[in-house]
Structure 1
Amino acid sequence: MTTMLVTGGTGTLGRLVAERLRADGHEVRVLSRSARPYAVDLRKGGPGLDTAMAGVDTVVHCASSQNGGDEEAAEHLIAAARKAGVRHLVYISIVGVDLVPLGYYKAKLAVERMVEESGIGWTVLRATQFHDLVARVLGGLSKVPVMLVPAGVRDQPVEVAEVADRLAELAQAAPAGRVEDMGGPEVRTFDSLARTYLRATGRRRLVVNVPLWGKAYRGMRSGGLLAPERAVGKGTFEEYLGRVV
């Protein structure tokens, strides 16, 4: 039995990763700001992080925040992992972090590089957007009578449970470096996803495609969010909505 640490282990992805690793017989420690006994704010570090890391063989780093602090968190995590003699560091990233210059994506790319240069055996998996994130965005856009969506943007949403399965598989294998990306089963225009969301939720809205501007938008329009050659996911956006709506 191997001792593994899952950061962000109470979140949407991390919780599922922890469940799968436990089901496979591993001792799993869940680290988050509120999860006892390993309640640690990675952005601050501290002795609690060393306690959580003691005796750990593999770390699956799922903790992330769109409010900033990912690089500071990674710095503290990597230092503690080195100190504890961790063998394998697995990191979940996002397809397009090198092509779509959003602030959050830039931070994810920076963390990828920190993991690669950590001196620890490492694995990085990039996945496309999770279904629940796409649904939250569309839910926000649908609060007004006219639903404005970015013109020409396509997405490839993936089922979070399938990403969790893949991360658990990678965590139990040898360090593999940057592995093949993981995308959902369908490349969809954003307005198509919007209309699917409206049908599932019973809302009537006028959907209007609006051209935007800037480097991030150009990156999205050029397919930066997509991994069509890695459409390995099975669950569709319609199936996801059928479960949650």
Structure 2
Amino acid sequence: MTTILVTGGTGTLGRLVTERLRADGHEVRVLSRHTQPYAVDLREGGPELDAAVAGVDTIVHCATTPRGDDEQAAVNLIAAARQAGVAHLLYISIVGVDQVPFGYYKTKLAVEKRLAGSGLGWTVLRATQFHDLLVQLFQGLAKVPVMVLPAGVSDQPVEVAEVADRLAELAAGAPAGRVDDMAGPEVRTFESLARAFLKASGRRCAVVNVPLWGAAYRGFRAGGHLAPERAVGKGTFEDYLATRIRR
């Protein structure tokens, strides 16, 4: 079996990827900012990153931050991977990064382009939003009596465990470039998802749809972040709520 480094290996996705790879018999190193022995800040790189990458066959790059530092982190990781002779760098991206001009998406697309031009063997899997991200959003919006949602926007959430399974499968294989997107089983309006959350959590809150403005909103409203033709996920939002949300 191979030696695999999982960046962001303590996060929502990375933790599950790590579990699956170890269950399959791979030697797995977990890299995060605070987890020894591979405690590394990818934004800074340095000898700690070189040590984490040395002797690794494959890197599964799950680490991310909404603060816009992902591209610099990728630059450092790619440089370390080149130096160490890593054969395969696998990256999890987001459906619609080339369709929706949203700041975080632009950064994810920039990382994809860095990988494609790196000279390394690479694979990119784009997935739609995870269920837990929507729950976090709705929990924040439900703190006031009126939940305000972007009018005309839908989503297609996917179960994170299913994405972890797919990443583990890809990590065990050869570099494949950009593979088919992975999306949840249903395209749902934001309102229907929000009402499902409110029902499952027993919260009482009015729901109001409000038109927004800007290119990013237009991109979301046009469905650039959706992949109905790739609705390969099985777990629905209600399935997730039934197991994770307490009234």
Q: Is the 8 A contact 1:93 1:124 kept in 2?
A: yes
Distance 1:11 1:225 in 2: 23
- CA shift, 1:205, in A, is 1.1
Which residue number corresponds to residue 188 of structure 1? 188
- Write out per-residue CA displacement over residues 123-156 of structure 1, whole angstroms, 9 at most, x where no aligned residue: 0000000000011111111111111100000000
- CA shift, 1:102, in A, is 1.2
SS at match of 1:83: helix
Q: Is the 8 A contact 1:154 1:225 kept in 2?
A: no
Distance 2:132 2:165 in 1: 17
Which residue number corresponds to residue 234 of structure 1? 234
Distance 1:102 1:26 in 2: 36
Q: What pairs with 1:45-64 in structure 2 (closer than 5 Å)?
A: 45-64=45-64
Which residue number corresponds to residue 28 of structure 2? 28
Instruction: Name segments (4+ residues, structure 1) moved above 4 Å.
Output: none
- The unaligned stretches of length 5 or more in structure 2 are none
Q: What pairs with 1:12-91 in structure 2 (closer than 5 Å)?
A: 12-91=12-91
Distance 1:107 1:39 in 2: 24
Distance 1:22 1:179 in 2: 23
Q: Is the 8 A contact 1:53 1:84 kept in 2?
A: yes
Which residue number corresponds to residue 11 of structure 1? 11
Distance 2:134 2:98 in 1: 20
Distance 1:25 1:231 in 2: 30
- CA shift, 1:68, in A, is 2.0
Distance 1:24 1:116 in 2: 28
Work out the percentage of aligned pairs sharing the same amino acid: 76
Distance 2:172 2:10 in 1: 20
Distance 1:138 1:94 in 2: 20
Which residue number corresponds to residue 162 of structure 1? 162
- Write out per-residue CA displacement over residues 174-201 of structure 1, whole angstroms, 9 at most, x where no aligned residue: 1110000000000000000010010001
- The unaligned stretches of length 5 or more in structure 1 are none
Under a length normalisation based on structure 1, what TM-score does the superposition of the two structures give?
Answer: 0.99
Q: Is the 8 A contact 1:128 1:183 kept in 2?
A: yes
Q: CA RMSD in A?
A: 0.6
Which residue number corresponds to residue 132 of structure 1? 132
- CA shift, 1:57, in A, is 0.4
| Aligned pairs, number | 245
Under a length normalisation based on structure 2, what TM-score does the superposition of the two structures give?
Answer: 0.98
Which residue number corresponds to residue 219 of structure 1? 219
Distance 1:109 1:134 in 2: 22
- CA shift, 1:243, in A, is 1.0
Matched, 1:100 2:116: no
